[in-house]
Chain A
């Protein structure tokens, strides 16, 4: 090896050591972008805190329970809102293609804040309070969610294919956009079908 080669090795290793020594100060100037994707999670669990035994065959006056959870992987604290909605088979669900929420009014809501990487979970108990059958249709007049009663006046016609009166309880996730100072639909929803035949 020639002297010039030794000198190059010396210069390169000195430069590396200088950068290493300067890294505390460099960290004040250089910021590294967050690695990975930013997203939120929304889930439902059954009464045993497992993804099974979800309420399906329900009756008026019977209390049913679920667990609703949200996970924040957005990279910063987030302010969430979950709307609980109730519908029959023909009423609109959120539109995943156009990122639009369901136009139905909410029957309950949960607002909470989550630090990045944290999860929030809450028990949800619901009860169909008044349901009336008129010929081939059933009208659910009121539903209670976590002991709050809401008038829904939602009717469902007999589904001859699946043999039942079907309703759906679903949960929409919204997140607060601090730039626009408003909640926006976060393009996530989960729900369970309820068969009111029994």
Chain B
């Protein structure tokens, strides 16, 4: 009797290339950076603490604007969830779990679109930028770039 493989079980080792492994590791690392930043912003937002900006003078103007939360939920916390998912899916994809790469791609695409919207708000509605938001935007662009640059594996090609 043949044993059926569960959905979360790793696929047979068709083997990831060295480049793919490095990219997944880099994606996971970037996601951890983003997670740290967004957890910090969420905690500061909930505590009502003043956020000191590194370069931009009007950072807190952005972070305390009406766009900084949706229905009382800090936007940064949604970012934290996004980065956490990216980290998890990158780790699982590196271990060749089925669908992990697809879920990773969907999450990063969502974050990429969200980032474009936030950049638009900063540039044209608030007319000021915040360091933390730009750092997060750079991370998301890097994540998207890495996934686009990912060489297709034999399994995904099939």
Verify that A and B bind, or say they do not.
no
Interface residues in chain B, defined as those with a beta carbon under 8 Å from any beta carbon in chain A: none
Interface residues in chain A, defined as those with a beta carbon under 8 Å from any beta carbon in chain B: none
